[in-house]
Amino acid sequence: MDLQNFTRLPTSHGEFKIQTISNIDVENPHLVLINSLRQTSTVNVRIHSECITGDVFASLRCDCGAQLSYALKYINDHGGVLFYLRQEGRGIGIEEKLKAYNLQDEGEDTVSANLKLGHQSDQRTYKEVVDWLKEQGIQKINLLTNNPDKVSYLEDHGITIAKRVSIIIEPNVYNKKYLETKRTKMGHII
Protein backbone atom coordinates (compact mmCIF):
# COMPACT_ATOMS: atom_id res chain seq x y z
CA MET A 1 0.00 0.00 0.00
CA ASP A 2 1.36 3.38 -1.02
CA LEU A 3 1.06 5.66 2.01
CA GLN A 4 3.02 8.49 0.37
CA ASN A 5 -0.16 10.38 -0.55
CA PHE A 6 -1.34 10.25 3.05
CA THR A 7 -0.65 12.84 5.71
CA ARG A 8 -0.40 12.30 9.46
CA LEU A 9 -3.52 13.07 11.52
CA PRO A 10 -3.13 12.91 15.29
CA THR A 11 -6.54 12.65 17.02
CA SER A 12 -7.85 12.13 20.53
CA HIS A 13 -8.37 8.48 19.53
CA GLY A 14 -4.84 7.95 18.21
CA GLU A 15 -2.69 8.77 15.22
CA PHE A 16 -3.95 8.03 11.73
CA LYS A 17 -2.86 8.57 8.16
CA ILE A 18 -5.45 10.43 6.06
CA GLN A 19 -6.00 11.02 2.36
CA THR A 20 -8.80 12.00 0.00
CA ILE A 21 -10.27 9.60 -2.53
CA SER A 22 -12.30 10.31 -5.63
CA ASN A 23 -15.94 11.19 -5.38
CA ILE A 24 -18.47 12.34 -7.97
CA ASP A 25 -18.66 15.59 -5.96
CA VAL A 26 -15.10 16.84 -6.54
CA GLU A 27 -15.66 19.74 -4.13
CA ASN A 28 -16.23 17.28 -1.27
CA PRO A 29 -13.95 14.25 -1.69
CA HIS A 30 -14.33 11.20 0.50
CA LEU A 31 -11.64 10.56 3.13
CA VAL A 32 -9.70 7.44 4.13
CA LEU A 33 -8.10 7.16 7.57
CA ILE A 34 -5.67 4.32 8.24
CA ASN A 35 -4.14 3.12 11.46
CA SER A 36 -1.65 0.30 11.13
CA LEU A 37 -2.91 -2.42 8.84
CA ARG A 38 -1.84 -5.15 11.28
CA GLN A 39 -3.76 -8.01 9.72
CA THR A 40 -2.19 -9.78 6.80
CA SER A 41 -5.33 -11.31 5.29
CA THR A 42 -8.28 -9.52 6.93
CA VAL A 43 -8.56 -5.75 7.48
CA ASN A 44 -10.88 -3.98 9.93
CA VAL A 45 -13.04 -1.49 8.00
CA ARG A 46 -15.59 1.13 9.01
CA ILE A 47 -17.63 2.91 6.33
CA HIS A 48 -18.96 6.08 7.96
CA SER A 49 -21.20 8.53 6.15
CA GLU A 50 -20.82 12.19 6.98
CA CYS A 51 -23.21 13.52 9.61
CA ILE A 52 -22.38 17.12 10.41
CA THR A 53 -25.04 17.30 13.11
CA GLY A 54 -23.80 14.18 14.91
CA ASP A 55 -20.09 14.13 14.03
CA VAL A 56 -19.39 17.85 14.49
CA PHE A 57 -22.15 19.23 16.72
CA ALA A 58 -22.64 16.09 18.86
CA SER A 59 -26.38 15.93 18.13
CA LEU A 60 -28.32 13.50 20.26
CA ARG A 61 -30.91 12.92 17.48
CA CYS A 62 -28.78 10.16 15.97
CA ASP A 63 -25.99 7.75 16.91
CA CYS A 64 -23.56 8.89 14.19
CA GLY A 65 -21.06 10.83 16.31
CA ALA A 66 -20.92 8.04 18.89
CA GLN A 67 -20.43 5.43 16.13
CA LEU A 68 -17.61 7.49 14.60
CA SER A 69 -15.90 7.83 17.96
CA TYR A 70 -16.27 4.09 18.65
CA ALA A 71 -14.88 3.19 15.22
CA LEU A 72 -11.86 5.50 15.51
CA LYS A 73 -11.00 4.01 18.91
CA TYR A 74 -11.51 0.45 17.60
CA ILE A 75 -9.31 1.04 14.56
CA ASN A 76 -6.67 2.73 16.69
CA ASP A 77 -6.64 -0.30 19.02
CA HIS A 78 -6.87 -3.04 16.36
CA GLY A 79 -5.64 -1.43 13.15
CA GLY A 80 -7.67 -0.88 10.02
CA VAL A 81 -9.28 1.65 7.73
CA LEU A 82 -12.09 4.16 8.22
CA PHE A 83 -13.82 5.57 5.14
CA TYR A 84 -15.52 8.92 5.76
CA LEU A 85 -17.99 9.27 2.90
CA ARG A 86 -19.52 12.63 2.04
CA GLN A 87 -23.09 11.28 2.00
CA GLU A 88 -24.87 13.54 4.49
CA GLY A 89 -28.33 12.38 5.50
CA ARG A 90 -28.00 8.93 3.90
CA GLY A 91 -27.27 10.70 0.63
CA ILE A 92 -29.88 13.50 0.60
CA GLY A 93 -27.61 16.36 1.74
CA ILE A 94 -27.71 18.66 4.74
CA GLU A 95 -30.56 20.92 3.56
CA GLU A 96 -32.90 18.01 2.92
CA LYS A 97 -31.78 16.34 6.14
CA LEU A 98 -32.80 19.41 8.13
CA LYS A 99 -36.20 19.35 6.39
CA ALA A 100 -36.46 15.68 7.38
CA TYR A 101 -35.68 16.68 10.99
CA ASN A 102 -38.65 19.07 10.90
CA LEU A 103 -40.90 16.27 9.65
CA GLN A 104 -39.58 14.02 12.41
CA ASP A 105 -40.46 16.72 14.94
CA GLU A 106 -44.00 16.54 13.52
CA GLY A 107 -44.16 12.77 14.12
CA GLU A 108 -42.61 11.15 11.03
CA ASP A 109 -39.79 8.65 11.48
CA THR A 110 -36.48 8.96 9.63
CA VAL A 111 -37.58 6.68 6.76
CA SER A 112 -41.03 8.19 6.22
CA ALA A 113 -39.57 11.72 6.40
CA ASN A 114 -37.13 10.95 3.57
CA LEU A 115 -39.90 9.36 1.51
CA LYS A 116 -42.22 12.31 2.12
CA LEU A 117 -39.50 14.62 0.77
CA GLY A 118 -39.29 12.52 -2.40
CA HIS A 119 -36.11 10.63 -1.55
CA GLN A 120 -35.33 6.98 -1.03
CA SER A 121 -34.92 5.84 2.56
CA ASP A 122 -31.19 5.42 1.82
CA GLN A 123 -29.55 6.77 -1.34
CA ARG A 124 -25.96 5.77 -0.58
CA THR A 125 -23.61 3.58 -2.57
CA TYR A 126 -20.17 2.37 -1.60
CA LYS A 127 -18.53 2.11 -5.02
CA GLU A 128 -15.51 4.23 -4.05
CA VAL A 129 -14.90 1.99 -1.02
CA VAL A 130 -14.96 -1.16 -3.17
CA ASP A 131 -12.69 0.46 -5.77
CA TRP A 132 -10.17 1.59 -3.11
CA LEU A 133 -10.12 -1.78 -1.33
CA LYS A 134 -9.55 -3.62 -4.62
CA GLU A 135 -6.81 -1.16 -5.67
CA GLN A 136 -5.04 -1.99 -2.40
CA GLY A 137 -5.47 -5.73 -2.92
CA ILE A 138 -7.82 -6.01 0.07
CA GLN A 139 -10.40 -8.74 -0.58
CA LYS A 140 -11.41 -9.81 2.94
CA ILE A 141 -12.51 -7.51 5.78
CA ASN A 142 -14.04 -7.32 9.22
CA LEU A 143 -16.78 -4.71 8.77
CA LEU A 144 -17.73 -2.45 11.68
CA THR A 145 -21.43 -1.88 10.98
CA ASN A 146 -24.99 -2.51 12.07
CA ASN A 147 -26.25 -1.96 8.52
CA PRO A 148 -26.97 -5.13 6.50
CA ASP A 149 -27.12 -3.07 3.27
CA LYS A 150 -23.40 -2.26 3.62
CA VAL A 151 -22.61 -5.95 4.06
CA SER A 152 -24.70 -6.88 1.00
CA TYR A 153 -23.25 -4.12 -1.18
CA LEU A 154 -19.65 -5.08 -0.45
CA GLU A 155 -20.30 -8.82 -0.85
CA ASP A 156 -22.19 -8.22 -4.10
CA HIS A 157 -19.13 -6.34 -5.39
CA GLY A 158 -16.52 -8.98 -4.54
CA ILE A 159 -15.42 -8.08 -1.00
CA THR A 160 -15.59 -10.95 1.51
CA ILE A 161 -16.94 -10.04 4.95
CA ALA A 162 -15.09 -12.33 7.37
CA LYS A 163 -16.85 -10.83 10.39
CA ARG A 164 -19.38 -8.11 11.11
CA VAL A 165 -18.51 -6.11 14.22
CA SER A 166 -21.56 -4.47 15.84
CA ILE A 167 -21.40 -0.91 17.10
CA ILE A 168 -23.84 -0.73 19.99
CA ILE A 169 -24.71 2.77 21.16
CA GLU A 170 -26.88 3.36 24.21
CA PRO A 171 -30.11 5.10 23.15
CA ASN A 172 -31.18 8.41 24.67
CA VAL A 173 -34.51 10.22 24.83
CA TYR A 174 -33.78 12.04 21.54
CA ASN A 175 -32.66 9.10 19.37
CA LYS A 176 -34.71 6.21 20.76
CA LYS A 177 -37.33 6.38 17.96
CA TYR A 178 -34.60 6.88 15.34
CA LEU A 179 -32.72 3.76 16.47
CA GLU A 180 -35.93 1.75 16.65
CA THR A 181 -36.78 2.81 13.08
CA LYS A 182 -33.31 1.78 11.89
CA ARG A 183 -33.89 -1.63 13.49
CA THR A 184 -37.49 -2.23 12.37
CA LYS A 185 -37.66 -0.50 8.96
CA MET A 186 -34.06 -0.67 7.76
CA GLY A 187 -33.03 -4.02 9.26
CA HIS A 188 -30.12 -2.68 11.29
CA ILE A 189 -28.75 -5.22 13.72
CA ILE A 190 -28.85 -3.28 17.00
Asked if 46 contacts 55 with a C-beta cutoff of 8 angstroms, the reply is no
In the residue annotation, 122 being an active-site residue is answered as yes
Told to judge if 183 belongs to the known catalytic residues of this protein, a careful annotator would answer no
Q: Which of 122, 149, 164, 183 is catalytic?
A: 122
Looking at 124, 131, 156, 183, which residue is catalytic?
124
Residues 122, 177: Cα–Cα separation, whole Å: 17
Residue partners of 76: CB distance under 8 A and separation at least 6 = 13, 14, 15, 16, 35
Which value, to the nearest 10 degrees, does the dihedral of the CA atoms of residues 95, 97, 101, 103 take? 90
Catalytic site positions: 122, 124
